[in-house]
Structure 1
Amino acid sequence: MKDDNKRGQLGRNAAIYGGALLLPRLAAFVALIVFSRIVEPAEYGYFALFVTSAELLNAVLFNWIRLALLRLYPEYESAGRISILRRTCLAMTGLATAVSIPVGALMALVAAPERTVAFSLLLGIMTFANGVVRLRLAELQAQERSLQYFGIEVSRATLSLVLSLALVELAGSNFETLSAGFALASLGVALVCLIPFVRELSHLGLDRPAVKTIVSYAGPIVPITVLESLIPLTERYVIQLVAGPAAVGIYAATQNLVQQPINMLASAVGLAAFPIVMRSAEREGNGSAQSRMGEVGSYLLALGLPAVAGLIMLRTEIASVVLGEQFRGQAAALIPWIAATALLVNLKFHYFDLAFHVTRRLMVQVASLLPATLLTAPFIYVFLKMFGLPGAAAGSCLAFSLSVLASWLAGRRLLAIPHALGEIARIGASAVVMVGVLAAIGPLDGIAGLVVLVMAGGGAFAGAALAFNVLDIRPALLPYTRWLPGKAVRAS
């Protein structure tokens, strides 16, 4: 009964986090449709470089502080010292913001030498806003207050889209207007997110024991986030070097299109799972954490695999309906590789890498990222020269698959994760049914055709998942239905 309650908790929180991620992704999806039609590929390429640079600064300078808050929250909460942890994390966020200013200026000089001032200013605003907003989101995640998390994410996404469209209408469709909309929207939300920290702001300071604890746990996260963030940055910088900003724009637009649904589904599970797994490890030991981790892997695969299969099967229809004409030519060839890479990335970070967090052996996680970090640039360069943009996507996929393998091999030596082979088989069989239905229907033109295909594929997977009892779905539905079989076979 206790395990069933925890499984239900994971599912409920994942559903709410899914909503918190769905609406922002929908806003980003709308933005992609609009921007790819009104912005030149080169301008979109500069915008993509801006977003990637902001994400790199955010990951390197702030992510380790947030993860420390998330991981240490149960310990400090039990000891009645949570205010000390909040104050220290907030002060460290302020110091990291100061460090970001000269670093961001240097990145602006490299990424957009002819637009350095605008790039640097907007990057500074975006970096500060990201640091504050995501620190608050980490605290809400640690508290398992998923509804408040939902409100912040949806507000920021909606405001970003509205402001960007308004600025494009007023000042023209270029890199500066797109970036300013996102930066100013994030700044407004950041100021609101500072309100719960008013007490800590008035007593801001670094508690030495808390700093020592944070650094001892999260110090290795800095090289981890550097390596993680260098991968997409390397992709786009190498493409710009070889093929120019227009190629970056096409590649980035396709990435945004493909990664949105996969990342949304996987992140919903990851956001819900991390605090549950860590609390299980703290309160009940690693054995309980292992059980929770096995459930996480099943959820990730059940959501991610059909998304990847659907994107690959419908790649031509999706590219023609969503992207502007200048972006469509190579998008269909890029989609399969980018989709596969997105699933691998999420399986590594949200599933396999949990073993390193539970055992607090994050330096091993650093080593598992080295294959992707070291090989992405040469693989993309060589494959791009040989096969064009699809080759770059294939090179990136190959490099990251080696890091997933390294994570699995290293993680299983620290904490054996139970892989539910029976569950994996049922998920795979359900995806095969979906692919068969889509192949039988064949291509359909236009928005209406794409909607029909998506509904048919989703319905086929859902029906097959119900028939195969994926994730023990039949027992969960039995109390609410009368037409299901009376006795469901539980998943192995």
Structure 2
Amino acid sequence: MSGRSILAYVPVNLATIVTSFGGLAILTRLLDASEYGRYALAMITMLAFHMALFSWLEAAMARFQARAERNDDVNSHVKTLYRYALLTVAIIWPIAMAVLFVLPIDASMRNVLAVAISSTCLQLFLNIGTEAHKAAHRIMRYSALYSTHLMLSFTIGIILIIVTPLREMALFFGIMAAIIIVLSVDLPFMIKQMRGGTSDPDKVKTYFKYGMPISVSLLLTYALSSGDMYLITAMLGDAYAGEYSASYNLANRSLDVLFIWLGMAFTPIAVTALEKQGLDQSRDVMKDYGAALLWIAMPAATGIALVAGDVGFILGEDVRAGAVKIMPLIAFAGVLNGMICYYAQRAFMLSGKTDMFVWAMVPPVILNIGLNIVLIPKYELMGAVYATVAAYALGLVIAMVLGRRHYPLPVPVRAFFEISLACIAMAATVWALGPLDSLPDFIALLIKATLGAVTYGIVCLVINAANCRDLLRDMIGRFKSKDDADIEPITAEVTP
């Protein structure tokens, strides 16, 4: 089912690409660098708030859905999570608004944060439903709901920027409007899932014990990737923060789309395999997953580094120059970050030792903060990138070492070297083209991207990097097959 799942999530990734890069291109033109910097700061604050307080509920839905199905207890499982989500929001939202009211911050920033936090409180109820759909392998429903939410948020937010004076607040109002529309469709479905169930406090204890370490570890991981925004704002100002955020979103978001895509396809299958078929079957899924992540993410990062100058046309002029300079290193930092969040973390999730992932993230966060304080004054934005790369590298090593003590997570060493060879060939081919300054940026980008992708694909197929021939054969076969009931992992064995 893995190959077919990858294809089933294509609409989600297309919507993510459109909203991420379309939004980046439009927002950096509609908003000046300072406005975009405040929007970015509000966005990372909103996401950190959500991770710290709400993600444990979503993680519990994803992890225990298969167990509830095995025990014929889905209605109580779903009802318990929705009820405690409502209770959590009812307590947290007024406290958050009161804290914002007394914080000594600029009034415009306070207003943006108030709307952002309100939108993420509403987002919790949509996320619980979509996590249930993924875990239950209702892929088409998940794909339709998530894609619709992304496109509506994007469209409504942009319209509000243009026709109202809301400026950076407009995007968060767009998010809230989209959530309400999608919930009007999905919530009745989820209410049916709760019928006959009871809200069980004992379940909540289990869910909290499992999920809260994930929330804390996600927060620490997010601090690695976004905490430097606060330091950049404090040391260099809103405009520099806007440049850094624009570059990070363009480079790292490209990789995030790929990591999330594969994670959505493989993780529910790995959980189901563990719960219903055992450890060995789950490990087989993860072996395929690790190699597939590298096979897609490493050439993407190499490509971003090669065409950073050409891809800058996507960004508005206020943020373009500074953003392009730091993009190549951010791309490779994104690979390290993705392997932490979407691969190494799965060892802790599948073993249930989620508290250990928290400790794995503490040293890199401390290193990142320390290096930022030292390097930003000397190297400005590039200093923040140096700090991020060093911290991610440390985080990946620690997470893999600790994670493998609790779950036999495969280390795809051979796949890494095979894919590295193909990436080197891709880079050499693109460099051989020389400068294409006489061509428009978009045409130069298209030529380099096409030539690089073709070279990478040919080399991979020739050397069968990460057993990619069998992965592609499986995807094609699953796409053609009408039987989607099988939950076995990819039949090809990917060489670790």
Instruction: Give the alignment's TM-score, normalised by structure 2.
Output: 0.89
Instruction: Name the aligned partner's letter for residue 349 of structure 1.
Output: C
Q: Judge conservation of contact 2:283–2:410 (CA < 8 Å) in 1.
A: yes
Relative distance call for 1:134 and 1:106 in structure 2 (3 A) is same
Partner of 2:317 in structure 1?
Answer: 325
Partner of 1:403 in structure 2?
Answer: 395
Q: Judge conservation of contact 1:59–1:226 (CA < 8 Å) in 2.
A: yes
Partner of 2:4 in structure 1?
Answer: 12
Residue 68 in 1 paired to residue 64 in 2?
Answer: no
Aligned mates of 2:144, 2:337 — CA distance in 1: 26
Residue 425 in 1 paired to residue 412 in 2?
Answer: no
Within a 5 Å distance, the mapping from 1:214-363 to structure 2 comes to: 214-319=207-312, 321-363=313-355
Deviation at 1:217, TM superposition (A): 2.2
Relative distance call for 1:490 and 1:76 in structure 2 (3 A) is closer
Relative distance call for 1:161 and 1:240 in structure 2 (3 A) is same
Aligned mates of 2:183, 2:102 — CA distance in 1: 26
Relative distance call for 1:478 and 1:301 in structure 2 (3 A) is closer
Return the match for 1:40 from 32, 36, 41: 32
Secondary structure at the counterpart of residue 9 of structure 2: helix
Residue 459 in 1 paired to residue 454 in 2?
Answer: yes
Secondary structure at the counterpart of residue 353 of structure 1: helix
Aligned mates of 2:420, 2:175 — CA distance in 1: 39
Residue 211 in 1 paired to residue 191 in 2?
Answer: no
Instruction: Name the aligned partner's letter for residue 44 of structure 2.
Output: T
Instruction: Name the aligned partner's letter for residue 180 of structure 1.
Output: F
Relative distance call for 1:324 and 1:117 in structure 2 (3 A) is closer
Deviation at 1:109, TM superposition (A): 6.3
Q: Judge conservation of contact 2:266–2:289 (CA < 8 Å) in 1.
A: yes
Deviation at 1:19, TM superposition (A): 3.1
Deviation at 1:110, TM superposition (A): 5.3
Return the match for 1:142 from 127, 135, 144: 135
Deviation at 1:205, TM superposition (A): 6.4
Secondary structure at the counterpart of residue 25 of structure 1: helix
Aligned mates of 1:323, 1:98 — CA distance in 2: 39
Return the match for 1:22 from 11, 14, 17: 14
Aligned mates of 1:202, 1:318 — CA distance in 2: 51
Structure 1 unpaired stretches of 5+: 1-8, 482-488
Deviation at 1:202, TM superposition (A): 8.2
Partner of 1:197 in structure 2?
Answer: 190
Deviation at 1:90, TM superposition (A): 0.5
Instruction: Name the aligned partner's letter for residue 131 of structure 1.
Output: L
How many residue pairs match? The answer is: 476
Return the match for 1:447 from 429, 442, 447: 442
Relative distance call for 1:227 and 1:104 in structure 2 (3 A) is farther
Return the match for 1:184 from 164, 177, 202: 177
Residue-by-residue CA offset, 1:355-385 (whole Å, 9 max, x unaligned): 1122211111111110232222222121111
Q: CA RMSD in A?
A: 2.5
Relative distance call for 1:401 and 1:128 in structure 2 (3 A) is same
Relative distance call for 1:246 and 1:476 in structure 2 (3 A) is closer
Aligned mates of 2:457, 2:89 — CA distance in 1: 46
Q: Judge conservation of contact 1:280–1:288 (CA < 8 Å) in 2.
A: yes
Residue-by-residue CA offset, 1:19-64 (whole Å, 9 max, x unaligned): 3123222222111111112211100011111211221122122211
Residue-by-residue CA offset, 1:296-350 (whole Å, 9 max, x unaligned): 110100010001000111111111x111111111112211222122111111122
Instruction: Name the aligned partner's letter for residue 143 of structure 1.
Output: A
Relative distance call for 1:374 and 1:475 in structure 2 (3 A) is closer
Moved more, 100-109 or 421-430: 100-109
Partner of 1:469 in structure 2?
Answer: 464
Query: Structure 1 vs Structure 2: percent identity of aligned residues?
Result: 22
Partner of 1:5 in structure 2?
Answer: none
Q: Judge conservation of contact 1:308–1:339 (CA < 8 Å) in 2.
A: yes
Relative distance call for 1:178 and 1:358 in structure 2 (3 A) is closer
Aligned mates of 1:424, 1:292 — CA distance in 2: 18
Q: Judge conservation of contact 2:287–2:410 (CA < 8 Å) in 1.
A: yes
Q: Judge conservation of contact 1:125–1:184 (CA < 8 Å) in 2.
A: no
Deviation at 1:116, TM superposition (A): 5.1
Q: Judge conservation of contact 1:66–1:134 (CA < 8 Å) in 2.
A: yes
Structure 2 unpaired stretches of 5+: 478-491
Instruction: Name the aligned partner's letter for residue 80 of structure 1.
Output: D
Instruction: Name the aligned partner's letter for residue 398 of structure 1.
Output: A
Partner of 1:50 in structure 2?
Answer: 42
Instruction: Name the aligned partner's letter for residue 374 of structure 2.
Output: V
Moved more, 33-42 or 166-175: 166-175
Relative distance call for 1:120 and 1:351 in structure 2 (3 A) is closer
Residue-by-residue CA offset, 1:161-199 (whole Å, 9 max, x unaligned): 211221122124721223322333233323433222334
Secondary structure at the counterpart of residue 414 of structure 1: coil
Deviation at 1:16, TM superposition (A): 2.2
Relative distance call for 1:80 and 1:105 in structure 2 (3 A) is same
Relative distance call for 1:93 and 1:153 in structure 2 (3 A) is same
Instruction: Give the alignment's TM-score, normalised by structure 1.
Output: 0.90
Higher relative contact order (CA 8 A, sep 6+): 2
Q: Judge conservation of contact 1:258–1:339 (CA < 8 Å) in 2.
A: yes
Partner of 1:6 in structure 2?
Answer: none
Residue 170 in 1 paired to residue 171 in 2?
Answer: no
Q: Judge conservation of contact 1:87–1:203 (CA < 8 Å) in 2.
A: no
Relative distance call for 1:225 and 1:124 in structure 2 (3 A) is same
Deviation at 1:224, TM superposition (A): 1.7
Instruction: Name the aligned partner's letter for residue 135 of structure 2.
Output: A
Q: Judge conservation of contact 1:315–1:335 (CA < 8 Å) in 2.
A: yes
